[in-house]
Amino acid sequence: MIRVTHVVQSLDPAWGGIARVLPELALRLRAGRIESTIATLTGGRYGRPPPIDLEVRAYSASAGRLGRSRAFAEAVGALVQSADVVHLHGLWTHQNWCAGSAARAVARPYVMTPHSMLMPWAWRRSWWKKRPAGWLFEHRNLRRAAMLHALSPGEAEHMRTLKFNPKIVVIPNGVDLGEFAAPREALAAGAAALEARHPALAGRRWLLFGSRIHAQKGVRPLLEGWLDVACGAARDEAASWQLVIAGTDEVGLQAELEAVAARRGGRERVTSVGLLDRPALAAAMARAEFLVQPSLSEGLSLSILEALACGLPVLISPACNMPEVAEEGAGIVVQPRREEIAAALRRIVSMRPESLADLSQKARRLADRFAWDGLIPQYVSLYEGLRRSPR
């Protein structure tokens, strides 16, 4: 039995992909005789961990983004001592500061998964805050990690250019194919409740944005591109389509987006439905005809994987690190710029039903590559290798 302590800022569903994928990973690792403890924060902006059949230790923290937690700092020594391997998720956190130091003090191997935070856009963003944190602790953490973990070859390539640590393993996020195994028509029936709450959605064809409402996710150029189509020369072809934004408004961006739509005269062509729970999100993906997420920075987006598993074609950017989408014909890959997004959306709204059906079949086939069953042995091998490594 190998014991792994995972360190992550939040497990609240509003925090998006990391909060969803980590518990799923930890639960499935049990089949490989890997027992997990998750150390996270609670309260305020960090929310609350949902009920999970795992050992979760939640520590109160300050409201700041660094997440200072005296309780975690006092407990981290014992957490690290009880683990064979420590796994740090994300960067620029007080938890990493404490856990990295504690792991090195007792020669405990640790792995770091940046979750896109070493990608170019994220690396440059707020550099004046990250540079001091890097000097204080995070650069040392990265250099002395037993392994860095990238979610895609593209993310690994960018990690190598920074030259913190040559030891990099690539293992993707996984997706639960069983959650989307039912026919799309059956799953889509659950979208009726959304249509009842948002009558503008009834009878429309959906373009679904299903991620955090944040600049990183490309939602601003997406909205501008959509308004160019919906309010421009292609307005007749786009008349039956609606942009549906489903996600948590993490930084107060939604009001700005609504103001842009109103100013452009397209407010009625955009519907925001807020954060959806798992059944509602699956229903929305099944009801939609395209996922539109032209992100500026991703490691490997769980929402994109889930869309593919649902048979939903995707409009993404190269920064999503999924060249397979274009290679396998499961969607469209464009630069996250307004003009290119608009051109792609014009293609989508003019597609014939048989073309959309073909894209849907290819999306499901591509999702098979990311099934958890094929990935868990790779994670088990990672932890076994780290436990055997010299300390």
Q: Which two tokens stand for residue 386?
A: 């780290």
Q: Which two tokens stand for residue 1?
A: 């039995």
pLDDT digits (tens, 9 = 90+) for 332-344: 999 999 999 999 9
Span 143-149, average pLDDT: 98
Q: Which two tokens stand for residue 27?
A: 């639960």
pTM for the structure as a whole: 0.93
Span 4-28, average pLDDT: 93
* Among candidate residues 191, 322, 275, 218, the one with its CA nearest the CA of residue 20: 275
Q: What is the pLDDT of residue 391?
A: 53
SS3 letters across 342-368: HHHHHHHHCCCHHHHHHHHHHHHHHHH
pLDDT digits (tens, 9 = 90+) for 96-115: 999 999 999 999 999 999 99
Span 30-53, average pLDDT: 93
Which residues sit opposite 293 in a β-bridge?
Answer: 316
Span 54-83, average pLDDT: 92
137 vs 131: CA distance, rounded Å: 10
Q: How many CA atoms lie within 13 A of 278 on its CB side?
A: 10
Grouping H, G, I as helix, E, B as strand and the rest as coil, residue 43 is coil
Pick the CATH number of 177-370 from 3.40.50.2000, 1.10.1200.10, 3.20.20.370, 3.40.190.10: 3.40.50.2000
40 vs 6: CA distance, rounded Å: 8
- Band of pLDDT at residue 251, cut at 50, 70 and 90: confident
Least confident window among 76-85, 101-110, 229-238: 229-238
Q: What DSSP line would sit under 99-144, residue for residue?
A: HHHHHHHTT--EEEE-TTTTSHHHHHTTHHHHHHHIIIIIHHHHHH
* Among candidate residues 59, 69, 58, 2, the one with its CA nearest the CA of residue 29: 2
pLDDT cut 70: percent of the chain above it? 99
Grouping H, G, I as helix, E, B as strand and the rest as coil, residue 298 is coil
298 vs 321: CA distance, rounded Å: 7
Tell me which of 31 and 87 has the higher pLDDT.
Answer: 87
- Band of pLDDT at residue 14, cut at 50, 70 and 90: confident
Span 345-355, average pLDDT: 97
Residue 256 has pLDDT above 80, yes or no: yes
CATH superfamily of the domain spanning 2-174+371-388: Glycogen Phosphorylase B; (3.40.50.2000)
Chain mean pLDDT for the chain: 94
Q: Provide the residue ranges of all domains of the chain, joining segments of one domain with +.
A: 2-174+371-388, 177-370
Q: Quick check: do 2-174+371-388 and 177-370 share a fold?
A: yes
